[in-house]
A and B are shown apart, each in its own frame.
Chain A
Amino acid sequence: MSDLILTPNIDTPDDFYAVLLAAHEGLGKDESDALNARLVLVLANHIGDRSILSQALKAAALKQE
């Protein structure tokens, strides 16, 4: 079983964060929520591996193993 990566893994994190904020710019709360939901689904599909996805769900819930 592979492990969810929880150490820094994004190249130039400030650039990424700026792009993420920019994607939400000008959107209302509902539109932003919907964008986030779609983003979760797109990323989940990219990951594919169910065991990683379960670990990610736990991590996001801030539930320590």
Chain B
Amino acid sequence: MSKIFEVPLYAYERSPDQDAPAPVRHKVIVVGAGPIGLAAAIDLAQQGVEVVVLDDNDKVSFGSRAVCYAKRPLEILDRLGCGQPMVDKGVEWNIGKVFFNDRQVYEFNLLPEEGHQRPAFINLQQYYFEEYLVNRVRELQAEGAPIEIRGRNKVEAIGTHPDHVKVEVDTPEGAYTVEADWLIACDGAGSPIRSMLGLDFVGRVFEDNFLIADVIMEADFPTERWFWFDPPFNRGQSALLHKQPDNVWRIDLQLGWDIDKEREKRPENVIPRLKAMLGEDVQFELEWVSIYTFQCRRMEKFRHGRVIFAGDAAHQVSPFGARGANSGLQDTDNLCWKLKLVLDGKAPESLLDSYDYERIHGADENILNSTRSTDFITPKSDMSRILRDAVLDLSEHYEFARPLVNSGRLSVPCTYDGSPLNSADALDGPERTRPGSPCPDAPLEDGFLLPRLGGKFTLLTIDADAPDVIEEDGIEVTRLALSVKDDPTQELKRRYLGEAESAVYLIRPDQHVAARSPSFDEQSIRHAIRRATGKEHANV
């Protein structure tokens, strides 16, 4: 049986563009049909923006790569129409165990906060994720949405112009040229487009190698995350065991710096390592093996005129904390509504610079967290190792040391503090919903809050009056009127009011808070809308 990542999912087909006498101009070209490129395209197509995705391959990600998806990306995927299959197929887990040397030092429960529609985390092979995204593209096409994926269309060169981008594409049937008003580069960590534009990608390479294997086994390991520091079966290094659907288990084995990668990847060398870890008599089959060196780096700017970078092409993190795909989805969530407004002439092009500001902030937070985890897992000096081992020894006996153990900090969305799109906070409300924050979900009488916010500007009023619709310079904002009376668990009150009696929130299409106040004031809301769409620069 061939594996899902071996079957072409978007096979090459000749496009009329290849026979056009002059290059055809599209609204948006997305380069790369990885998870981030597909998410960008779906988001745009759902908003009616014509989009073509070019990918040099025709299959989903080879091997599973990303396995952990956090709540916020699942919420974004809900809006893109693919959250449900992810959650249905994915496995949820809450228990983690930490081992040091030959013993378990402690166990933790993530104890996810109640009152969210989506779980804190699910594990799922990246190829399923990409398959669900491609299914969604097909569904949109069936509904007549303007979206297309072109497999085996390799971008060979690009030319940037003030009002468009020209793209040279190679296919099995020869080369052609095509143009777009905007190009989103989602061509992965090795981004050829970044190189074509001669742009930097700076940061740190961790001098270490990790053997990443997915094995299929009928084993009775529980659905938990197990992490080993310096175990007997991998001395001086670390190891991770994590469950995925279909009895597939993710195993990470740290190998150190001085190794022969090709040799280590051969099954005759991998299998004994896995046996030492899993036990001699556990039966397993290798699904996929790869060796990675991890890096934490980003581009200095994500927007370069009409070329905008997103996902791994813009920033790369080590996988401890599962921030790669998770943060890439937050990139496109941030970008696509802005691009739509610019394309419609409803916001100035400079609105796109706030994408740079906000997502660089996000990338820096992710890089900081991933770097710290990597430094804990791979101490880079004798003293770091001594301190790390001290933390682990203490963690076995004393609770205080456990928060210091860092085998990956789970991905949480960042708050765009200081963003030029935020208005000053006018509500004496909870910290977690201050301007810039991603809206936390809350249970309502009837369903959950986030699906009610949808993907447009919303005026959320809680026990406050306001008009049902406000239009400000082409931007339409619809009211969602709620009351603490629709709040069976009081979570809406806890998350959005705190001590306040009432509140009015201006919420952006990506469900981040733009402004909030205790009551509706027309002038300040109009001002906040202008600000959130890049039309107003300083607080006047």
Contact = CB atoms under 8 A, between A and B. Distances in A.
Interface residues of A, number: 23
A6 B399 contact: yes
B384 A24 contact: yes
Contact of B403 (A8, A24, A29, A32): A8
Contacts of B369: 14
A14 B376 CA distance: 10
A1 interface: no
B57 to A, nearest CB: 37
Interface string B376-411: 100001111001000101101111101110100100
Interface in A1-31: 5-10, 13-14, 16-18, 20-21, 24-25, 27, 29
Contacts of B404: 10, 13-14, 16-17
B50 interface: no
A24 B381 CA distance: 9
A17 B397 CA distance: 19
Given A14-B409, A32-B383, A62 B397 contact: yes
Contacts of A27: 383
Interface string B205-242: 00000000000000000000000000000000000000
B372 A17 contact: yes
Interface string B355-387: 000000000000001001001100001111001
B409 A24 contact: no
B375 to A, nearest CB: 7
A47 interface: no
A21 B399 contact: no
Contact of B383 (A14, A24, A60): A24
B321 to A, nearest CB: 11
B383 A6 contact: no
Given A24-B384, A32-B383, A8 B402 contact: yes
A44 interface: no
B382 A6 contact: no
B111 to A, nearest CB: 14
A59 B372 contact: no
Contacts of A10: 400, 403-404
12 contacts: A5-B400, A8-B399, A8-B403, A10-B404, A14-B409, A16-B404, A21-B375, A24-B387, A32-B382, A32-B383, A59-B394, A64-B397
Given A6-B399, A32-B382, 4 more contacts: A5-B400, A10-B400, A32-B381, A62-B397
